Structure 1
Amino acid sequence: MLNQNNLQKLELRAMFKHLTIVSLFTASTAMASAEQLTLYTEVFPPYNFVQHNQLTGINTKIMESLCERAKLSCTFSVLPWKRAMSLTLAQPNAGIYSTSRTAKRETQFYWVGPLVSGHSCLYRLNARNDIKVTSTQSLQNYTIGVSRGDVYQTVLADFNLAEGLQFLTYSKKFEELKMFKQGKHDLLIGSSLTLSSQLMNVGMSPDQVTPVFELKHPALVGNYLALNKNTSPEVVNKLQHALDTMKQEKLIDSLVDQFVAEDMHSHGEALTVAQQCLNGSAIY
């Protein structure tokens, strides 16, 4: 009998093949003369995830609409984040979406956005009611686990927190979640919209944690599409114009409502917990 992790791996393998076939068929028929764009992302619900062997999610649906409105032939691929970032930097007409626009990355890409993101918050285990965070200075008294290379590593360093003391980095996927669950560090960083899916990876549910503080930093103000610098500026402008138009037409509002509702249905109390951290409101 397949467990959830094995089933997800099978879904991902099938999805990679399926998306490649569909994308190439689209490019060779209906949009043969359109400019080509390869778009990478990772599995990161509710922004991008696999459902019934199909890539979907709030930002994936936005990107599909942008490609159609800009008359671009787009191929979508799901890869581990580091691999996706590496390919985007190396390939002309490539992009990576649902990524943070940091100072370090600013000059490496052309940017389209913001797409949809959530508010970043710090969470504690319910039993740890001794933890009190009233400012970033309070974080000097606690330990936080983050994924190595994640934008949160930069954010915490900017708050004058020291790696190895106030925050610990992990290279293995979900390791910071496992350590948090075991009480090996005090706090976990999560987005108000992604917390539920994060915790599910280690057999936890949102009702086991309590939000204690919202993190505010320039790098946490939104998700973006980052495009290789060899992409035509005309393509960049078309995509940004299409996104601005979608926002004016309130089309993104309906997508957010759709996928946040689905996430709540799939993972229990996701929206309820998110409401404790700025009502789970989306940023875009």
Structure 2
Amino acid sequence: MARILALLGLFLSMHIHAEIRILTFASPPLVNFHKSDDIHTNHHFTGFSVDLIDKVFNDTNSKYSIQSKPIKRALYETKAIQNTCTFPIDRTQDREAQFKWIGPVAINRYALYSAPNTPISLTTLIDAKTYTHAVYSGTAIANYLRERQFHMYETKSLLQGLRMLLSNRVDLWVADTNSAKLLAEQAHIAQLKPELIFFTSIGFMACNNETPNADLYKLDMKLKEMYQSGEAQRILHLDE
């Protein structure tokens, strides 16, 4: 009996301290990918949201690993596999019951950008409906525009959308203002300014519904504590 209880205790200990597998995707400056020298992984991750997640896990002595996946694949695996989470994800009504949520881990303002030296005058979002748009596939903003029957090309990355804009394959590029600013700087584009900022979204970490509540509760409580102290806002650069 003592041996059985010891084995049960070991099992419960392993369960309580199970590693959380986190999936994410390129969304600079929130999430950036870099080539890694580690033969066991193909990326090293940095970014505002990555720093926030890392701080939350480290301060709660929680183990995690992080991998890159396209948004749609990340959501599919998170929904199907226990102890799996993905971020930064928009917490939409249709997703609400499919996951457990921790956040916010990101705050984005989405804008419409025209090509440099090709201004398009926009006052409201309705004004943009006659134009073609490049938008990152799998994002809530893509769903938002699709539901409103905008003419869109869904891209595999934000950078692909910028390239389509610069090559005049679309009239407008849909991107959050932080990502657009960073990608424009990297491409040495000084004239890229938003024609219209039209949507603000709050990004969360979505977790598989079978992930133990106790594991997620301590993460969520730590994050709330960081917002109360202002530390989370500083890490996300929301005070700039």
Q: Same fold (TM over 0.5)?
A: yes
Aligned partners of 1:147 and 1:153 also within 8 Å: yes
The CA distance in 2 between the partners of 1:171 and 1:98, in whole Å, is: 16
Say what the alpha-carbon RMSD is for the aligned residues. 2.7
Q: Normalising by structure 2, report the TM-score.
A: 0.80
Match of 2:231 in 1: 251
Correspondence list, 1:199-218, <5 A: 199=184, 204-216=187-199
Identity of aligned residues (%): 20
Question: Judging changes above 3 Å, is the alpha-carbon distance between structure 1 residues 210 and 56 closer, same or farther for their aligned structure 2 residues?
Answer: closer
Choose from 64, 72, 77 the match for 2:54.
64
The CA distance in 1 between the partners of 2:101 and 2:194, in whole Å, is: 31
SS at match of 1:221: strand
Structure 2 residue 216 is the aligned partner of structure 1 residue 236: yes
Structure 2 residue 145 is the aligned partner of structure 1 residue 187: no
- Corresponding residue pairs, total: 220
Question: Judging changes above 3 Å, is the alpha-carbon distance between structure 1 residues 75 and 41 closer, same or farther for their aligned structure 2 residues?
Answer: same
Give deviations 1:62-81, integer Å, cap 9, x for gaps.
11222233332212222333
Aligned partners of 2:26 and 2:32 also within 8 Å: yes
Question: Judging changes above 3 Å, is the alpha-carbon distance between structure 1 residues 249 and 45 closer, same or farther for their aligned structure 2 residues?
Answer: same
The structure that is strand-richer by fraction is: 2
Match of 2:133 in 1: 144
Choose from 33, 50, 57 the match for 1:50.
33
Match of 1:41 in 2: 24
The CA distance in 2 between the partners of 1:179 and 1:231, in whole Å, is: 40
Choose from 73, 80, 94 the match for 2:70.
80
Question: Judging changes above 3 Å, is the alpha-carbon distance between structure 1 residues 221 and 107 closer, same or farther for their aligned structure 2 residues?
Answer: same
Displacement, 1:204? 3.4
Q: Normalising by structure 1, report the TM-score.
A: 0.68
The gaps in structure 2 that reach 5 residues or longer are 1-13, 37-43
The gaps in structure 1 that reach 5 residues or longer are 1-30, 258-280
Give deviations 1:43-92, integer Å, cap 9, x for gaps.
32211223573322111121122223333221222233333222212210
Give deviations 1:193-252, integer Å, cap 9, x for gaps.
11134447xx73341322111122xxx421110000001122222211110001112212
Displacement, 1:174? 4.3
Q: Which amino acid aligns with 2:211?
A: T
Question: Judging changes above 3 Å, is the alpha-carbon distance between structure 1 residues 92 and 111 closer, same or farther for their aligned structure 2 residues?
Answer: same
Q: Which amino acid aligns with 1:133?
A: L
